Structure 1
Amino acid sequence: MQLTTQPQSPDLTLHFAASTDAAGRLGRGLKPGEVRLSTRGEESDEALALAPTNAADAREVGRALAELARKLSAKSLRVEACEFPAALASAAAVAGWQDRRYKGQAAQDEETESTGEMQLHVSGLSAEEQQRTEGLLRGVTFARELTSAPANVLNPATLAREARGLASEHLQVEIWDESDIQARGMGLLLAVAAGSDLGPRLIRLTLPARGEKRRVIALVGKGITFDTGGYSLKTSAGMYGMKNDMGGAAAVLGAMAALAELREQVPEGVEVRAYVAAAENMVGPRAMRPGDIYRAANGKTVEVTNTDAEGRLVLGDALTVACDEGATEVIDLATLTGVKVSALGNDMAALFCNDRALAAGLEQAAESAGEMVWELPLHRPYLRGYQKNTLADLKNSDMQPAGASIKAALFLQEFVTRPWAHLDIAGNAEKDSVATGWGVGTLVEYVLAQG
């Protein structure tokens, strides 16, 4: 869906009624967030909704409007003025996304003919709000396309190529291959990638500060482009869908794409860096085995008790590099633990943080973006299960599901030396088999609020 500044002759127009207004027979019983078709015309249609009283209602209206437009095959939408126009516009634009890249040509042609590229005009949307919405839309779309791509298309090498395509006058991209990673001592990332013939990549992006640099925000993403579980092999049902185990990496790259578009809105003095640890977790002659011990980039040794707990390994090395390179704060995103879904479901991400100001900033950013987070504790005694009965400094799992999300976060904390937050987005990166781009909005809102 494309935002337009000039209203065209719309196929569908959305009007608003106050909740105290009877809104006539057609609007009777309208609920907040609901969009109801009110008039079918020869050349255009009209719909009705209650005027949103908060941003959450506006997002619900936006999503419902996009769904109605699809059903009506409307190509041009107009929304009359309301409060929270940016929330409505961004939700409608995101909800209008469909990935047609992997359909046959006939199906693509048929869908293009029926829906085409939707045009959306929202009255009352300021120029700055439109720019911000368009930047976010670009980032979310990029993240969704990465997450949606099958593993025979997207692997560590092609993910690096996609990231390199973001390079511009203001956004620097650097790719470390296996030899670079080995030279940096990133033994955990190398271990996870050893079972694949594609090798690992460390993808590093930098959006330099405008003016004198005073802060460096590092965004770190788990980029497992496919996860078989390694020799701790997943079941068939558990393995299907593991192309989206790079949802954290996709969100980080999407956020960088959006921030590059919105560079003039990034507060002066704030530099943003992204680190994506990319690998496939496969079975092969060189693959890591349960019981193997590897040395991380920070010198700690880790015994692999479960090869399917690979995300924390690649993140450990990436977090070390981000801290060593001078980040003042670090935020990582990862589809890390299945038990996070049991605890919080698919709509809400788990937040772990060692710094109160950073946690509060991320909670506010998530609320502004319409994404939900819930903070869980970094209960230090739980780490003991990863420290006992091993020849190494740490195990990567104690094989006990109780408290597993907390223990995984505590493992990551062993690799940070800065204010740090971990967002476990297992279950968030995809909804109803459609990639969501979850996390792009939260990261962008957080950076833009650091004035």
Structure 2
Amino acid sequence: MPVCIFTKVNYLRLRHIYYKSVPVYRLFSTSRGNNKGLILGVYGEESKENSFLLSKASQAFDEKCNGQLSKTLGLFGNSFKKGKSHLLFGLHDEFPLVSVVNVGKKGQGFNEHEELDEGRENVRAAVAKGVLQLRSADQYEVLVDPCGDAMAAAEGCHLSEHKYDELKPADKRKPPMQLSCFTENLNADERTEVEAAWQLGATYAMSQNFARLLMEMPANLLTPTRFAEMVTEKLQELCEVVVRDQSWAESKKMGAFLSVSHGSMEPLRFVEVSYNGGEESAAPIALVGKGITFDAGGISLKPPADMDKMRADMGGAACVVGTLFGAAKLQLPINLKAFIPLCENMPSGTATKPGDVVTAMNGKTIQVDNTDAEGRLILADALSYACTFNPQFILDMATLTGAMIIALGSAAAGTFTNSSELWKLLHKAGGQTGDRLWRMPLFQHYTENMTSCQLAALNNIGNSRAGGSCTAAAFLKEFVGENQWIHIDIAGVMMNKDEVPYLGTGMAGRPTRTVIEFLKLFSAKEN
């Protein structure tokens, strides 16, 4: 049987060639009752004599198909470079379609300048391309070459396969893919190790995908009440979930949180989640997430362009939920408590007005000069409440400032912390996951900017637009007391266009995997 090469152009042509009304590629998959696809990796080399090296799995498959794989790939010469992929069929009866991806030079590790593990990132991107290629060919049961890093391969596969299409017509939806690791060339011990790494990567990816699902949902469907219900449904078998209402917030004197919710008809919710994986006497780690399920700006109304994206202004809360899910599934030996304030920020006759003064749970008064700087208000009370549990440290995530988008774009999430020790672990975690963070300053200069206020102890905006992310972090710092604290401003990484090749277009769920990895590193250090 001749081998057919599916380059992008050839595939587009061949998929429209029919034999008795059956597409050519389906002749190979359906005629034998087999609809399994396979993704294989090769390493790109700079040698003119041999432009690629087969991975272990590719070598095994090449033997299985009597050298047809290497012979076919040899036709591409030096044009088959990192990031390229080819869809082949007719190599072997068991796998009618094979996507071969180039994962780059073998042995690449941590790049000091890029601050990430390039080898792992190359694997994520390469296998993701293979997944999308096979899905476009209607292959939904796919085995994946671990490409030397099964965890990274699983992350790339499951992250790229995720798509929020629940509200589209049935004929426009793609069924979920069954993705598994190709291990038939390994012995029993190797298979056990590789499959464990694959499952770890799948858990990381599924955790981020749940955050992406929440962020992508329309705000009329994902109200504060529905968010709380979905958290309960997702976590109740792994954690203890308690959902609070407005009367509870009033009893705690959360005046800042309440002030944001006043403009909306949707009732607020405050979700408290406890995961107890460590010793009973061990202090918890506090996770706090901004949960504005829609942000119109309040009286300080946002411009209409791209306002629909503000359905994801609860991205911090979504990432906290995804992190909790991942930590619990991995059974990390730590105690976690999550605090998630949920409400809408809408304009109405009952909304907070610019110039109003509110009192936070810790007793500090806040002059609200811009109602569109609402995230820091709800976080102020959530952080104050988190302090009452005497945590080991507090980590919050929030789509907080447009200034962070200007500062860092989508390359990294801005991070503010009063602990260099915690920062080192978090920074290391970002290098491993490929979802990087960048440390920003917490100078007293910014605090003075926020405490220079006409009517109250604090203003909710700075006295100029300069350093907007830094002044926002300085505001939050007033509500963490003496605790070790990390604030991650995720506004710049809220969405993905094509910057991260394995995330596709849409809400990103970043940096969920990095925070899970950070907690994993922290728990290993402590135990």
Q: TM-score scaled by structure 2?
A: 0.78
Question: Residue 45 in 1 paired to residue 98 in 2?
Answer: yes
Which amino acid in 2 is paired with 1:247? G
Q: CA deviation at 1:391?
A: 1.4
Structure 1: tracts of 5 or more residues without a match: 1-7
Which amino acid in 2 is paired with 1:444? I
Pairing 1:3-42 to 2, within 5 Å after superposition: 10-17=36-43, 19=45, 20=47, 21-23=50-52, 24-26=74-76, 28-39=78-89
Which amino acid in 1 is paired with 2:519? V
Q: Do the aligned residues in 2 keep the contact of 1:30 with 1:50 (CA within 8 Å)?
A: no
- In structure 2, relative to structure 1, the CA distance for the partners of 1:15 and 1:297 (3 Å cut) is same
- Out of 469, 472, 487, which is 1:422 matched to? 487
- In structure 2, relative to structure 1, the CA distance for the partners of 1:130 and 1:300 (3 Å cut) is same
Please state whether the residue corresponding to 1:427 is helix, strand or coil. Answer: helix
Q: Do the aligned residues in 2 keep the contact of 1:34 with 1:60 (CA within 8 Å)?
A: no
Q: Do the aligned residues in 2 keep the contact of 1:228 with 1:234 (CA within 8 Å)?
A: yes
Q: Do the aligned residues in 1 keep the contact of 2:449 with 2:463 (CA within 8 Å)?
A: no
Tell me the distance in 1 between the aligned counterparts of 2:311 and 2:237: 31
Q: CA deviation at 1:18?
A: 5.3
- Out of 348, 371, 379, which is 2:435 matched to? 371
Q: Do the aligned residues in 2 keep the contact of 1:40 with 1:46 (CA within 8 Å)?
A: no
Please state whether the residue corresponding to 2:517 is helix, strand or coil. Answer: helix
Please state whether the residue corresponding to 2:337 is helix, strand or coil. Answer: strand
Question: Residue 142 in 1 paired to residue 210 in 2?
Answer: yes
Report the equivalent of 1:391.
Answer: 455
Report the equivalent of 1:439.
Answer: 511
- Out of 318, 336, 343, which is 1:272 matched to? 336
Q: CA deviation at 1:46?
A: 4.1
- Out of 114, 117, 123, which is 2:177 matched to? 117
Question: Residue 241 in 1 paired to residue 306 in 2?
Answer: no
- In structure 2, relative to structure 1, the CA distance for the partners of 1:201 and 1:48 (3 Å cut) is closer
Q: Do the aligned residues in 1 keep the contact of 2:161 with 2:177 (CA within 8 Å)?
A: no
- In structure 2, relative to structure 1, the CA distance for the partners of 1:58 and 1:50 (3 Å cut) is closer
Q: After alignment, is 18-27 or 358-367 more displaced?
A: 18-27
Root-mean-square deviation over aligned CA pairs: 2.0
Question: Residue 193 in 1 paired to residue 261 in 2?
Answer: yes
Q: After alignment, is 388-397 or 50-59 more displaced?
A: 50-59
Which amino acid in 1 is paired with 2:177? E
Q: Do the aligned residues in 2 keep the contact of 1:12 with 1:74 (CA within 8 Å)?
A: no
Instruction: State, as a whole percentage, how many aligned pairs show the same letter.
Output: 32
Tell me the distance in 1 between the aligned counterparts of 2:171 and 2:252: 49
Q: Do the aligned residues in 2 keep the contact of 1:196 with 1:287 (CA within 8 Å)?
A: yes
Q: After alignment, is 41-50 or 319-328 more displaced?
A: 41-50
Please state whether the residue corresponding to 2:76 is helix, strand or coil. Answer: coil
Which amino acid in 1 is paired with 2:364? K
- In structure 2, relative to structure 1, the CA distance for the partners of 1:17 and 1:132 (3 Å cut) is closer
Q: CA deviation at 1:194?
A: 0.6
- In structure 2, relative to structure 1, the CA distance for the partners of 1:389 and 1:413 (3 Å cut) is closer
Which amino acid in 2 is paired with 1:155? T
Q: Do the aligned residues in 1 keep the contact of 2:256 with 2:358 (CA within 8 Å)?
A: yes
Tell me the distance in 1 between the aligned counterparts of 2:128 and 2:146: 17
Report the equivalent of 1:75.
Answer: 140
Question: Residue 411 in 1 paired to residue 485 in 2?
Answer: no
Structure 2: tracts of 5 or more residues without a match: 1-33, 53-73, 109-118, 184-190, 498-504
- Out of 236, 246, 250, which is 2:318 matched to? 250
Q: Do the aligned residues in 2 keep the contact of 1:302 with 1:395 (CA within 8 Å)?
A: yes
Q: Do the aligned residues in 2 keep the contact of 1:27 with 1:48 (CA within 8 Å)?
A: no
- Out of 356, 363, 373, which is 1:309 matched to? 373
Tell me the distance in 1 between the aligned counterparts of 2:434 and 2:291: 24
Tell me the distance in 2 between the aligned counterparts of 1:120 and 1:305: 53
Which amino acid in 1 is paired with 2:515? L
Question: Residue 88 in 1 paired to residue 141 in 2?
Answer: no
Which amino acid in 2 is paired with 1:14? L
Please state whether the residue corresponding to 1:126 is helix, strand or coil. Answer: helix
Cα deviation per residue 1:356-376 (whole Å; 9 max; x = unaligned)? 111111111122222011111
Aligned residues: 435
Please state whether the residue corresponding to 2:492 is helix, strand or coil. Answer: coil
Q: Do the aligned residues in 1 keep the contact of 2:283 with 2:390 (CA within 8 Å)?
A: no
Q: Do the aligned residues in 2 keep the contact of 1:62 with 1:90 (CA within 8 Å)?
A: no
Structure with the greater alpha carbon radius of gyration:
2
Tell me the distance in 1 between the aligned counterparts of 2:330 and 2:453: 50
Which amino acid in 2 is paired with 1:59? R
Tell me the distance in 1 between the aligned counterparts of 2:272 and 2:399: 20
Question: Residue 151 in 1 paired to residue 219 in 2?
Answer: yes
Question: Residue 262 in 1 paired to residue 291 in 2?
Answer: no
Question: Residue 400 in 1 paired to residue 483 in 2?
Answer: no
Q: After alignment, is 74-83 or 181-190 more displaced?
A: 74-83
Which amino acid in 2 is paired with 1:429? M
Which amino acid in 2 is paired with 1:72? A
> Larger relative CO (CA 8 A, sep 6+): 1 or 2?
1
Please state whether the residue corresponding to 2:461 is helix, strand or coil. Answer: coil
- Out of 146, 160, 164, which is 1:99 matched to? 164
Report the equivalent of 2:296.
Answer: 228
Q: After alignment, is 339-348 or 188-197 more displaced?
A: 339-348
Q: TM-score scaled by structure 1?
A: 0.91
Q: Do the aligned residues in 2 keep the contact of 1:216 with 1:327 (CA within 8 Å)?
A: yes
Cα deviation per residue 1:4-33 (whole Å; 9 max; x = unaligned)? xxxx97323314245253342325233334
